Amino acid sequence: MTFFPLFHNTNHLKVLLIGGGNVAKRRVKTLVKAGVSFDLMSICVNDGITELVENAGGTVTLGAYDCDEVMRGYTFICALTDNRTVNHQIAVDAEAMGLLVNVADVPDDGNIIFGAIIDRAPLTIAINNGGASPVLSSILRQQLEQLVPKAYGQLSRLVGTYRPQVKKALPDTKQRSIFWHQVLQGPVAEAVFSGKHDDAESMLKDHLKEIDSGGNKIMNTGEVFLIGAGPGDPDLLTLRAFRLLQKADVVLYDALVSDGVMALVPESVERVYVGKRRANHSVPQTGINQLLVDYAKQGKRVARLKGGDPFIFGRGGEEIETLAQQHVPFQVVPGVTAASGCSAYSGIPLTHRDYAQSVRFVTGQLQDGSVNLPWPELIVEGQTLVFYMGLKGLPLICEQLLAHGMDINMPVALIEKGTTQDQRVLVSDLTQLPAMIEAEKVMSPSLFIVGRVVSLHDKLAWFTSSRES
């Protein structure tokens, strides 16, 4: 580690920037945002810099650096001129005076560097790589910006406000640490992230009352995260879903959750398979509902991972009904539903101005071998039909669509294991597809699309899986 990270109290810094070019302008903006007091001197100053400095309460002095006298009264010097020899001399003089000094483009000439900053005041995250690559630090900052919700700043302020009270209520360091871990990874934090700051503060106060009334009693509140895992590609998981997976104590997952998504679950998390395949339910739905309740009432954070979106043929509504009845806290995280994900990865837009002005999702899960669907409503020109869980009943579906008047040449597509490296797309028509899927031995999960938009597949297909390459 070449540069040791430290955070300075901005109230105790007085900065002099020497130089007036583009680098100086970036530094000025950084200091203004941080609320640091500063002045600037330079032979010439780029447009806009003087206004920025003066609006921040600083002064601009026109002139060249000639001696260390100009540094008197400052704690921090930025050498930002276009002349490396001058910058080096500024650094030598500043260090001789025991000052902090940053040198543009030559980090080793100074004793500090600027890092990329993620500002979630009062929480601040800084990234530095010893000045080797500012671009790399910037890229990492952009990635972390997505993973650290802006509400972390509000959470930091809330925790800071109640820290003295918690310290008084829980003098034992270990107990206090457990308390804060539960606050920062539990319903209080999630309420802040959801914009419910008053609810979060109320919950925190309630937990403090519990401690006051029960000695060193630590809260034991569980919660369920109903998470849509998407159709397969782990890159389609939402940032919120990823964040909640990282804080879960136990994950209940079904057969449609891909190995790629499961690989994102930390090794320390307990995994419970509750998969359901056609005619083979490892755990009945009522059992899954009860498991969620039981784990949550043990004080655990429970992630319920469901393929696709939990509210589109995912029975997520049934699960949270049970949670609501049992007064178990929960939240729902939408996922990319199979229709959207599989069609996109197949180059088949579900709607298109020239081909389809509406789309309809239909369950193809047939009961007792019967077909009980509103067929006349499905035979509409300019409409795309998407059948979920329709592999077993596909021959009957094709037969009934034709029997109720659908064009015999209507293009159809069967997408097997969509969005994954095992994706396969079979395109045909209503008369030939049943025989094709039997010959090709198509497996679940699969999605059946009917409509003129399927004809765009050859032109728009962009994703090539390992099976199709």
- CATH superfamily, domain 339-460, is Tetrapyrrole methylase, C-terminal domain (3.30.950.10)
Output phi, psi for 216, to 5 deg. Answer: -95, 30
User: Nearest to residue 91, comparing CAs of 118, 63, 110?
Assistant: 110
Asked whether 39 and 58 are in contact (CB, 8 A), the reply is yes
pLDDT score for 99: 96
pLDDT score for 100: 96
Cα end-to-end distance, the chain, whole Å:
45
Ranges of residues in the chain whose predicted pLDDT is under 70: 214-221, 276-282, 366-371, 469
Q: Which bin fits 131, alpha (ψ -120 to 50), beta or left (φ > 0)? A: left
The token pair that represents 248 in the structure block:
């879960």
Task: Write b or e for each residue in 211-245: b if 16 or more Cβ atoms lie within 10 A of its Cβ, otherwise e.
Answer: beeeeeebbebbbbbbbbbbbbbbebbbebbbbbb
User: Across-strand partners of 16?
Assistant: 39, 77
pLDDT score for 369: 55
State the CB neighbour count (10 A cutoff) for residue 47: 7
In CATH, the architecture of 10-114 is: 3-Layer(aba) Sandwich (3.40)
Whole-number Å distance between alpha carbons of 84 and 158? 46
In this prediction the pTM is 0.72
Asked whether 220 and 207 are in contact (CB, 8 A), the reply is no
pLDDT above 70 as % of the chain: 95
DSSP code at position 466 = T
The token pair that represents 176 in the structure block:
């206090």
Give residues with Cβ within 8 angstroms of 446, minimum separation 6: 390, 391, 414, 415, 416, 417, 418
Instruction: Tell me the three state secondary structure of residue 131.
Output: coil
Q: Which residues are catalytic?
A: 254, 276
What are the boundaries of each domain within the chain? 10-114, 152-213, 223-336, 339-460
Class of domain 223-336: alpha beta
pLDDT score for 210: 82
